[in-house]
Amino acid sequence: MTVGVMLLLGTALVSVVAPHTLRTLARRAVDPVVVLAGWALAAVGVLGTGAAGLVFLVVPGLASQTPLDELVHGPWWHAVSGAPTHVAYRVVGWLALGVLLAGLLRLARVTVRDGRARRIRVRTKLDVVRLLGTPDPAAGPGAPLLWLSSPSPVAFSLGGRPGAIVLTDGLRERLPGAGVDAVVAHERAHVRGRHHLLVAVVEGLARALPFVPLFTAAPAAVREQVELVADISAVRACGPDAMRAALLAVTGAGAPAEALAMARDAVDLRLRYLAVAAEPPSAASRLTGCGLLGTAFASIPLLAASGLLIVLSVLTTAAALIH
């Protein structure tokens, strides 16, 4: 019971602290792949420990067979485990069961419903662009490249396997070959990295469990980071000049004056950010970064739970001694 409560407290702590930590990392121009891994690990950690905490509330006996039990010294632990069983505890147990089941049910329902709606939307959009677009015969393997006949310079990608990359004639007119290559490399990075699915998953979590701060903060942050991942991939493939030309062509033209100014500003910022962040990170530093973040987020709920348990046990022992 106590272990369950502490795990839940630890989970709440991480779900509030993790978004701040991850946003700070993003501001320091940390490799976006590491930041994305951090969001994913934090989400898995919060879901896992939250569920575990609720299970411990439902079945308090479980806690006595876990390593958490051994983290707490014997005599202190007895003070906690020997706490009297009140009716209140049983009520909390039933409540926890209700919350756990309701949460799981909601998660399943939203996942299924959103997943189905998403598949339908992808299919209709693919239908539309396939009918309107002319496939590029020179495109390599992977997602097909489709050209739309429109004067406005637009580029986007649709997720899935194989997915699709859609560009307009207007883009080709405004951009030299290398710029178009940079746009294609950027969009290919989205499709290859399954960024659409990643964004869809975090948006699903935010819709299913909107009371968890970590989940409501995730969609916007993940969107930003996947754009940076794709940018870095494009810069590596085609160089920063091609990327600059591409960004200016897509955001600069056809927009109203004030939107244009803002877009120019944003492009400039995005490019300068790239200059800071695009140092190709080595696989080793990437792994270390992911590992460190993962360990931190996985262990914080447990550590918080253990710490709180120890404090509580000391207090209980002290109270027992005074009496």
Partner 1 sequence: MRGLGELEAAVMDVLWQHAEPLRVREVLAELAPRRTLAYTTVMTVLDNLHRKGWVTRELDGRAFLYRPVASRELVTARALRDLLDASEDVDAVLLHFARSVSEHESAVLRDALGPEDRS
Decide: 20 and 35 in contact? Cβ < 8 Å: no
Q: State which of residues 62, 110, 178, 273 lies at the interface with partner 1 (CB under 8 A).
A: 273
Contact call for residue 233 and partner 1 (CB under 8 A): no
Radius of gyration of the chain (CA): 25
Contact between 132 and partner 1 per CB under 8 A: yes
CB atoms within 10 A of CB 109: 11
Is 113 a residue that touches partner 1 (CB under 8 A)? no
Q: Rounded to whole angstroms, how far apart are CA atoms 82 and 1? A: 11
**Binding positions for partner 1, 23-82, rule CB under 8 A:** 23, 26-29
Binder of partner 1 out of 17, 100, 110, 148 (CB under 8 A): 148
- How far apart CA 15 and CA 46 sit, in angstroms, is 7
- The answer to whether residue 158 forms part of the interface with partner 1 (CB under 8 A) is yes
Q: Does 247 bind partner 1 (CB under 8 A)?
A: yes
125 touches partner 1 (CB under 8 A): yes
Our finding on whether 250 is near partner 1 (CB under 8 A) is: yes
Q: Rule CB under 8 A: is residue 196 a binding residue for partner 1?
A: yes
Q: Does 205 bind partner 1 (CB under 8 A)?
A: no
> Which tokens is 124 given?
């209709």
The whole-angstrom separation of Cα 166 and Cα 77 is: 62
- Interaction between residue 199 and partner 1 (CB under 8 A): yes
Distance CA 295, CA 279 (A): 25
Q: How many CA atoms lie within 13 A of 49 on its CB side?
A: 27
Q: How far is the CB of 178 from partner 1 (least distance, A)?
A: 15
Instruction: Answer whether 167's CB lies under 8 Å from 180's CB.
Output: yes
Residue reference for tokens 């300068």:
272
CB of 290 to partner 1, least distance (A): 20
Does position 224 interact with partner 1 (CB under 8 A)? The reply is yes
The yes or no reply on residue 110 touching partner 1 (CB under 8 A) is no
Tell me if 127 sits within 8 A of 36, measured CB to CB.
Answer: no
CA atoms within 13 A on the CB side of 286: 12
How many Å apart are CA 114 and CA 246, to the nearest integer? 33
> What's the min distance (Å) between Cβ of 89 and partner 1?
42
Contact between 116 and partner 1 (CB under 8 A)?
no
Contact residues toward partner 1 (CB under 8 A) are 23, 26-29, 118, 121-122, 125-133, 148-150, 152, 154-159, 168, 183, 186-187, 190, 195-196, 199-200, 203, 220, 223-224, 226-227, 230, 246-247, 250-251, 255, 259, 262-263, 265-267, 269-270, 272-273, 276-277
